[in-house]
Chains A and B, each alone.
Chain A
Amino acid sequence: MDELRDLYQDVILDHNRRPRNRGRLAHPTATLEGFNPLCGDRLTLDLEVDGGVIRDAAFDGEGCAISTASASLMTEAVKGLTVDQAERLFDDVHAMLIGGGEPEKVGKLAVLGGVKDFPTRVKCATLAWHTLHGALQHRHDMVSTEEETP
């Protein structure tokens, strides 16, 4: 069960059971839908960006524990960051999830790192982050985890 506990750490199970920032924002400045065609999971991400700073973030949708916890942790982490800082965080987290990054760079989000030993589950974790990246790039169409990664 050790590898399983690396994947399903207490923080992840907790965010799965009680997701933070779940729901919709009243006045989002950016909204984007993310889709993982491999499993059918979808989420909608709302951001409120003001003066280059992410003031608020929320997500909605049903998904597995990994994708729910990843979205929950992400919305917590990006609140208060500048758009540039959030983009850098996306780069660092994405690198960690696909197995090439340094977990020290991402602080608490390192709990998501266990997914790199579960190749079929990596996209569950990256879904929310791809959606964040797309929203910050002012995309309006749906983001898919099957797209080429920048």
Chain B
Amino acid sequence: MNFDPAALRSEFPILSRPVRGKPLVYLDNAATTQKPRRVIETLERYYAESNANVHRGVHFLSERATAAYEGARETVRRFLNAKEAREIVFVRGTTEAINLVAAGFGRSRLQPGDEVVITALEHHSNIVPWQLACEQSGAVLKVAPIDDAGQVILEEYRLLLTERTRIVALAHVSNALGTVNPAREMIALAHAAGAPVLVDGAQAVAHHRVDVQALDCDFYAFSGHKVYGPTGIGALYGKAQWLEALPPYQGGGEMIRQVTFEKTTYADIPQKFEAGTPNIAGAIGLASALDFLAETGLDAVAAHEHDLLVYATAMASEIPGLRIVGNAQEKSGILSFVLEGVHPHDIATVLDREGVAIRAGHHCAMPVMARYGLAATARASFALYNTRQEIDALAAALRKTRELFHG
């Protein structure tokens, strides 16, 4: 298929709006992606034509809403190539997915002296839930270090895996640096030590083909809004035997089989983890986004974004005083950088006035910043609708920033 970003752009209404009198150059996709028209229309159509609660009603609309919601689960299954739809739990996003697993481990599987292994690349949402679980259980958090390029040092990671390791949690792609972890190899190493693995896929699913069976991960978490879908919806994949083994995360309606004041029995997976009325519209909107991405073709998207990264990296090397932070061999479409003598927040403010949206700050990854002795970086992150012309606009705005600050 011929990949045509210009045609794709026209499917995203927001991309044609000006910002501060300039064409919008949206390069903050690692924070959230924009939404194609069909996702926006799916949400509207659901509320206009199908809205009802799921799994309970016997009336027409409830049946329709339930079919659409469970259809969305099947779409997520296909997207991740999970074995069964019941291995997909709808959650609010990656953060809730990780909290669900970490809380379950903290309550039922972690003992004093047990160990949880993460990497130095993690987002706060793949650190803090494990700290909470360790605090509660007396387990110890171990962190696999990274090298100067921003890659996990595999020999060190290997040394952390012992018979005390109860679970490993790692990012598929680093949100702060763009590093792609060798997830398959790291999962195999963890399994060899007898530990299951949770993969934080928030920065991966929109950019690379993900196959949870090929990865052989035990859990995989991602957010809808980073993959062209709505906010407030995401999914947790868990191997059926793991989801069955973990205790419920929240109690309430929808997740029970039978309730008496003496004893409650829980529903089967995945309903066991979906207490309360779920984000039905969100799930259906997410499915629409995943269909869009599948039709566009993830391999073509990955190739396009790789081209943008290569182009942007070359552009960056021509700007005096610019230093890229994170130079992993395997990198996703994320360019984290600092500019000599200009704080990242000042860069972002000047770029914003040129219509260029980037992120500046610690990217919810303060330990990554600390590793490089930085408080913050500026970050441009790419999506399928970005173009080389937009990277030229970024370069021009960065040169303007330099002129302003260095005169």
Binding site for B on A (CB under 8 A): 1, 3-4, 7-8, 13, 16-17, 38-42, 62-66, 68, 118, 120-121, 124
Beyond A63-B343, A64-B343, A64-B345, whether A8 also contacts B404 by CB under 8 A is yes
Contact yes or no, B343 A40, CB < 8 A: no
Complex CA gap A121/B404 in Å reads 17
Residues of B within 8 A of A38 (CB): 361
Residues of A within 8 A of B366 (CB): 40
Residues of A within 8 A of B400 (CB): 1
Contact yes or no, A39 B353, CB < 8 A: no
Residues 331-369 of chain B, each 1 if its beta carbon lies under 8 Å from chain A, else 0 = 000000000011111100110010000001110001001
Residues of B within 8 A of A40 (CB): 361-362, 366, 369, 375-376
Could you tell me the distance in whole angstroms from the C-beta of A72 to the nearest C-beta in chain B? 14
Can you add 17 more A-B contacts, CB < 8 Å, to A7-B349, A63-B343?
A4-B353, A4-B404, A8-B346, A8-B405, A13-B405, A17-B341, A38-B361, A39-B345, A39-B361, A39-B376, A40-B361, A64-B346, A65-B346, A65-B405, A66-B345, A68-B343, A120-B349
Residue on B nearest A42 in the bound complex, by CB = B375
CB-CB contacts below 8 Å: B55-85 with A: none
Looking at the complex, which one of B342, B369, B376, B407 makes contact with A65 (CB distance below 8 Å)?
A: B342
Residues of B within 8 A of A4 (CB): 349-350, 353, 404
Looking at the complex, which one of B346, B353, B375, B376 makes contact with A66 (CB distance below 8 Å)?
A: B346
Residue on A nearest B400 in the bound complex, by CB = A1
Could you tell me the distance in whole angstroms from the C-beta of A67 to the nearest C-beta in chain B? 8
Residues of A within 8 A of B341 (CB): 17
Complex CA gap A64/B400 in Å reads 17
Residue on B nearest A65 in the bound complex, by CB = B346
Could you tell me the distance in whole angstroms from the C-beta of A71 to the nearest C-beta in chain B? 13
Complex CA gap A61/B139 in Å reads 36
Contact yes or no, B362 A65, CB < 8 A: no
- 15 A-B residue pairs with Cβ-Cβ distance under 8 Å, sorted by A, are A4-B349, A4-B350, A8-B346, A13-B405, A13-B407, A38-B361, A39-B360, A39-B362, A39-B376, A40-B376, A62-B343, A62-B375, A65-B342, A68-B343, A121-B345
CB-CB contacts below 8 Å: B362-407 with A: 362, 366, 369, 375-376, 400, 404-405, 407
Residue on A nearest B375 in the bound complex, by CB = A40
Contact yes or no, A118 B405, CB < 8 A: no
- Most A Cβ at <10 Å: residue of B342, B369, B404: B404
Beyond A4-B404, A8-B404, A39-B361, whether A118 also contacts B345 by CB under 8 A is no
Residues of A within 8 A of B350 (CB): 4, 8
Complex CA gap A17/B353 in Å reads 22
Complex CA gap A20/B240 in Å reads 63
Residues of B within 8 A of A16 (CB): 405
Contact yes or no, B349 A121, CB < 8 A: yes
Residues of B within 8 A of A65 (CB): 342-343, 346, 405
Could you tell me the distance in whole angstroms from the C-beta of B364 to the nearest C-beta in chain A? 11
Contact yes or no, B376 A118, CB < 8 A: no
Contact yes or no, A3 B343, CB < 8 A: no
Residues of B within 8 A of A63 (CB): 343
Could you tell me the distance in whole angstroms from the C-beta of B213 to the nearest C-beta in chain A? 40
Contact yes or no, A41 B375, CB < 8 A: yes
- Most A Cβ at <10 Å: residue of B345, B360, B400: B345
Complex CA gap A118/B350 in Å reads 11
Contact yes or no, B346 A3, CB < 8 A: no
Residues of B within 8 A of A39 (CB): 345, 360-362, 375-376
The 6 closest A-B pairs by CB, nearest first: A64-B343, A64-B345, A40-B375, A65-B346, A64-B346, A40-B362
Could you tell me the distance in whole angstroms from the C-beta of B338 to the nearest C-beta in chain A? 12
Residues of A within 8 A of B369 (CB): 40
Complex CA gap A59/B239 in Å reads 54
